[in-house]
A and B are shown apart, each in its own frame.
Chain A
Amino acid sequence: MSAATLSPATVKPAPLNADDVRIGPRATLRHIGALTRRNLMRIKADPESMLDAVLVPIIFTVLFIYVFGGAMFPTRAQYIQYMVPGLLGTTGLNLAMAVGTGLNSDFQTGVMDRFRTLPIGRSAVLLSKMAAEMLRALVSFTILITFAMIIGLEIKTDVLHLLAAVGLSLMFGMSIVWISMLLGMSLSSPQAVQGVSMLVIMPLQFGSSIFAPTGTMPGWLQTFTEYNPLSALADACRGLINGEAFSHSVLIVVIWSVAITAVTAPLAVARFRKRT
């Protein structure tokens, strides 16, 4: 290293008043693709991170069908038809709430700084998390439905209605992902994110029509379950799989999903931009 090597590298002179370049939608799609690949490779490198997606639906099904099923409904088969469609929704919720924990630990390492010093759209990092999460949820839904069918679930409509139920659960789950990301970026540690997530999940999950009909609940709880979007989601999935009325509850779920996304997605992106 000597003075002779100091020949100035050429730097493109920037017009002083030029606005910053915009990153086009095609470039952003490429970035989302590259980052989604990263997220999937992380799962491949750490298969244990799929345990929740694989085991939780099976454990929930076994637990509720065999422990509570007999006590709640005249036959176990009836309870399977009642409860499993609702499990679709709660599975999506559970997986979605785990996203924030992962995002929070990303911030604890230097990786996020690296991404943020690259010329990519800020939303690409979040959207790629979302994409990987959708794939995880689809795996989980497949396992749930396959397992439930083995122990007796009957699809009383057709594949299209079943897919609609899956799509609806996925859509609702993805709107919850934004809330989880907000928590992940607002709380200090992965443990805190997990704790708060549990506080959100528990009342929503059990204060709903997923596991038991709401008729025997006290009035205040019935009111809560009525407005709980998870009840609407469970009712909609039940309708779609068991061939009962579903259009009203589907509409409610769609409205909830769109509303949650419309409010929390911009907040999450803004939070991501601001986060230092």
Chain B
Amino acid sequence: MNRNDIAPNDRGLSGTNAVEVRGIVKHYGETKALDGVDLTVRQGTVLGVLGPNGAGKTTLVRILSTLIKPDAGTAFVGGYDVLRQPKQLRRTIGLTGQYASVDELLSGYENLYLIGRLLDLPAKQAKARATELLERFSLTDAAKRPAKTYSGGMRRRLDLAASMIGNPKVLYLDEPTTGLDPRTRNEVWDEVQRMVSEGATVLLTTQYMEEAEQLADALTVIDKGKVIASGGVAELKAQVGGRTLQVRPVHPAELPEMARCLHETGLTGATFSADTGLLSVQLTDDEQLTAVIGVLGSRGFGIAGIDTKLPSLDEVFLTITGKSGPTDAVPTLEKEAVA
């Protein structure tokens, strides 16, 4: 199940590329939204496009959905050229954006039926497909209600259903879980995994490392319109340093003693902070986690809580670019000075 343990090169070797992007450039006035982006998505796999706000992720998705035209470069989706064969390409794709693109005044059913008709399904089939997808996305009870009465999660599910009507071979999910609560996010993830298991190719943009870990086979990291890293999830994770284990002892006074014990048993990389009362250990694999907990337990330290933390996107950027991350946050000192 843990797809990340499989090296990226092990998958999809026999498949062809469902998406091929070469040297795509897009300017908005002076700003270069995309500055020569290359990427490929193998058929039947999920490519996670990771990047901060304003990195160019959405611009890329809009180009690949024929919503905007690139200034230079080529892009093929399902073998169709975004510039010369937009209508054929549109039959191949489904798009779910960050903001649900459904008609708020129409019911869930009417939304799906409309799209079915626009995809040239006969009325009967459009009806059947709408009903089927409402069922699948657990929206049957709300089928007749206007979409504006839906919760955020229901809307996102309706949006996903809408992009599935035409059985697209390639799905673009543009930050599909931004702004969703954890439970709804999990529902969306489950749905995406199901689509992939049924053979869809997915291009997923996200700001969340965790989302990329859950869903993606391979990653492309974009910053300021440029690809700054790409490869398998495991590969990039190794670059960034994997997870951090955080242990909260019952008695914070024992922190130095705990770190020393770990060091003695050869488990390096443990640090602690009296301020937070946490012991942190950099993990490179799951065995290490078991070992750390085992050592601490056998020495009789009381543990109040443990947690593992993935590197944040900021940390990924920090590592890859070797400079400070993409946050626009005001440095803490300045904030305090203002206050």
Contacts and interface: CB of A to CB of B under 8 A. Distances in A.
Given A6-B44, A30-B117, A38 B79 contact: no
B11 A41 contact: no
Contacts of A276: 62, 67-68
B200 interface: yes
Contacts of A16: 81
B169 A34 contact: no
B18 interface: yes
Contacts of A46: 105
B90 A42 contact: no
Nearest to A42: B105
B120 interface: yes
Interface stretch (B95-103, B176-184, B222-230, B258-266): B95-103
Interface string B55-89: 00000001001111000000000111100111110
A221 to B, nearest CB: 43
Contacts, number: 138
A116 interface: yes
Interface residues of A, number: 43
Interface centre among A2, A13, A16, A114 (most CB of B within 10 A): A114
B244 interface: no
Q: Main SS of the interface on chain A?
A: loop
Contacts of B84: 19-20
Given A14-B88, A37-B114, A38-B103, A113 B80 contact: no
Nearest to A27: B120
A8 B16 contact: yes
B271 interface: no
Interface stretch (A117-125, A137-145, A155-163): A117-125
Interface string B277-309: 000000000000000000000000000000000
A7 B199 contact: yes
A276 B106 CA distance: 24
Nearest to A118: B118
B201 interface: yes
Contacts of B66: 116-117
Contacts of A110: 97, 99-102
B110 A9 contact: no
A45 B44 contact: no
A240 interface: no
A115 interface: yes
Nearest to A49: B105
Interface of B: 1, 3, 6, 10-12, 14-16, 18, 43-45, 62, 65-68, 78-81, 84-88, 90-93, 95, 97, 99-106, 110, 114-115, 117-120, 146, 162, 169, 193, 196-201
20 contacts: A1-B197, A5-B196, A8-B16, A8-B44, A11-B79, A11-B92, A11-B169, A13-B79, A19-B84, A34-B114, A37-B114, A38-B103, A38-B110, A38-B114, A41-B110, A109-B99, A110-B100, A117-B66, A117-B95, A119-B87
Interface of A: 1-3, 5-9, 11-14, 16, 18-23, 27, 30-31, 33-35, 37-38, 41-42, 45-46, 109-111, 113-120, 276
* The 9 nearest A-B residue pairs measured at CB: A110-B101, A34-B117, A114-B101, A45-B105, A9-B199, A8-B43, A119-B90, A14-B79, A8-B15
